[in-house]
Structure formats: structure tokens, C-alpha cells
Amino acid sequence: MEKIVFLDRATLEANVRRPDFPHHWQEYAATAPDEVVGRLEGATIAITNKVQLRAATLAQLPHLRLIAEAATGVNNLDVDWCREHGIAIVNIRNYAIHTVPEHVFMMILALRRNLLAYRGDLQRGLWQQADQFCLFTHPLHDIHGSTLGIVGHGALGKAVAVMARAFGMTVLFAEHKGATVIRAGFVSFEQALEQCDVLTLHVPLTDVTRNLIGAAELGRMKPSALLINAARGGVVDEAALVEALREGRIAGAGFDVLSAEPPCAGNPLLELDLPNLIVTPHVAWASREAMQILADQLIDNIEAFVRGESQNRVA
């Protein structure tokens, strides 16, 4: 009988059905690093969203056959070690193709229309003191007719492109940074930076993408451009972004992710009090509808593994 342990059930606000095969199910709202080995003792299937499972931990779990990632990103897992030692990994795919693009455009619209700045003006009574029917304290820009640069050509990048075109935007997919060959339908990474009015990131965090956007890349962008990150915090050099925002070298930024989460030790982006910076607490993925899709796919993946099928396998 399979022993299934969900290490951080509280990260998923959805109904998680039980698998259709004989099993023992155990779940914990959250699991601290020093609790992982004890809680997974004898487990054959581990479910994790953000709890890290590295080689030193995995080596102490001889019964483990499957890690079911309750998310798309697997940077919390030692994938190479699992491959070498026969532990399968499955992840969640394409569940957020509506919720993430909607969150991205929420931030784009709020920034292009200076929503937070106008809200602040109203709170300070500026409209009440105006000498005409409207208040022109901040510039307003349409997104229709503007250019969206997208870094990442996966399901989310493509879904954002569909929404952008519906808004009347021109879409540029950026080729890999440093690529010598530009694929059909793409523009060079540098061209995307230089031509976009909004740059949105939809790539995983890897050694290649860490600090993909730094001071040099921000310097290539238009002073009127926005940077949106609903991917992973480490993809952007946050200190460089803070400097660019303070100096007005880009027009604004919308971030749903930070380099360390939760930001217990602080973060330079959280120290900025600017109306052209929006930071949300890693919730772009988390509509109730999307979380239920995720929960259903999580169990589908586990059931497929037990049947001997390869579904959404990472390793």
C-alpha cells in the first residue's frame, strides 16, 4: 500500500480528492526543514509545494518512489539526484493560463493608468481642491497600440500574448539571451528590451535565468517602459531595479514574486514607497479556480504514476 505524505497542505486552498488506489494519506499544514525526514519516514509518495527536498534529505528516505510537486517550478527539489537514484518527479502544468495573465494585465493597466498615484491624490484631497471637473496630476497611457515584450514562450507566455493582442498590443517574443540564431516569430533579446513599452517575464528560475534582468538590461529599456515579473523573484536583480526606479530610468514595475519568500529578512523592493511600483505576495497563480485545477491535476499525476503511466514527468 502506498504511503502518501503532503508536507505543506496549507499552500493549497482547494478540495484535494483522495487517490483511487489503496493508500495511507497523511497531511501537514506546513513542515519545517528539521521535520521533513521524520514525516516522510516510510513514505512512498511525497507531495510538496515549497518544502525543499535536497540530496542530504532524500538519501534518508529509502522507500520514496515519487515526489509530486504541487506547482510547476521544481527548483525546491534536487532533480539530478532523483534521476540518479530512481525517484520520479511529476509537476503541474498549464493550470494558471487564465489567472496569471489576468494578474499580469491587472498590474499593467494599473501602472499605465497611474491607478495608485491617483488613489493617493484622492486620499490627500487633491480632487476636492481642483478648479475643474477632472484632475490631471499624472500621465495616462493606453495599452492599445503599445508593444509588449515577452520573455518565455511556454504556456503562460503564449496565454499572455493572446490577451495582449485582444487589447490591441503588438507582441514581441524575446529570443534567448545571447542566442546567435533568432528563431522565426522571435526578435533578439536586446531588440525586445529596446522596443517594448512593457516587458513581462515568464521563465523558470535556473542558473541561466538568475538575474536575467540586471542593470545593463534595465538600461536598454525605454524610460517610459514597465517591467512585470510574475515568474520568479531571482530572475531580476532587485537592487538594480530599485536603483532604476529611484532614478526614473524605467517608468514602473509590477512584481508578484521576490527573491526570498516570505521576505522575512526584508527586501529592497518592499522598502520603496512609490506609486509606480506594485508588489503582490505571490498570488498571481492563486485564483480559486486555478487552485482547484491544480489540485485535480496533482492527484491525476499520482494516479497515473501508480498505474505505470508517464504523465507530467520531470524526472
Residue 13's nearest CA partner among 304, 287, 312, 306 is: 287
Do 155 and 125 sit in the same domain of this protein?
Answer: yes
At 73 the pLDDT is 87
The yes-or-no answer on residue 232 being catalytic is yes
Handedness of CA 113, 115, 120, 123 (dihedral sign): positive
Do 82 and 218 sit in the same domain of this protein?
Answer: no
Q: Is residue 38 part of a domain?
A: yes
Are 170 and 194 spatial neighbours (Cβ–Cβ below 8 Å)? no
Total tally of structural domains belonging to the chain: 2
Q: Is residue 47 part of a domain?
A: yes
Do 168 and 20 sit in the same domain of this protein?
Answer: no
Residues spanned by the domain of 85: 2-94+289-306
Are 248 and 277 spatial neighbours (Cβ–Cβ below 8 Å)? no
Q: Is residue 121 part of a domain?
A: yes
Q: Is residue 284 part of a domain?
A: no
Do 143 and 233 sit in the same domain of this protein?
Answer: yes
Stated pTM of the model: 0.90
Do 205 and 117 sit in the same domain of this protein?
Answer: yes
The yes-or-no answer on residue 261 being catalytic is yes
Do 147 and 269 sit in the same domain of this protein?
Answer: yes
The yes-or-no answer on residue 282 being catalytic is yes
Do 76 and 6 sit in the same domain of this protein?
Answer: yes
CA atoms in the 13 A half-sphere facing the CB of 288: 1
Catalytic residue, chosen from 41, 261, 289, 309, is: 261
Do 68 and 28 sit in the same domain of this protein?
Answer: yes
Say which CATH number the domain at 176 has.
Answer: 3.40.50.720
Write down the residue that cell numbers 475643474 correspond to. 132
Catalytic residue, chosen from 103, 112, 153, 232, is: 232
Q: Is residue 312 part of a domain?
A: no
198-201 β-sheet, strand order? 186-187, 170-174, 147-151, 198-201, 226-229, 252-255, 277-279
Query: How do the pLDDT tens digits run along the chain, 315 residues long?
Result: 999 999 999 999 999 999 999 999 999 999 999 999 999 999 999 999 999 999 999 999 999 999 999 999 898 999 999 999 999 999 999 999 999 999 999 999 999 999 999 999 999 999 999 999 999 999 999 999 999 999 999 999 999 999 999 999 999 999 999 999 999 999 999 999 999 999 999 999 989 999 999 999 999 999 999 999 999 999 999 999 999 999 999 999 999 999 999 999 999 999 999 999 999 999 999 999 999 999 999 999 999 999 999 999 999
Do 118 and 145 sit in the same domain of this protein?
Answer: yes
Residue count (the chain): 315
Residues 257-281 have pLDDT tens digits of: 999 999 999 999 999 999 999 999 9
Do 67 and 80 sit in the same domain of this protein?
Answer: yes
Q: Is residue 224 part of a domain?
A: yes
Catalytic residue, chosen from 98, 249, 282, 313, is: 282
Do 164 and 80 sit in the same domain of this protein?
Answer: no
Q: Is residue 311 part of a domain?
A: no
Q: Is residue 141 part of a domain?
A: yes
Q: Letter for the amino acid at 119?
A: R
Do 207 and 220 sit in the same domain of this protein?
Answer: yes
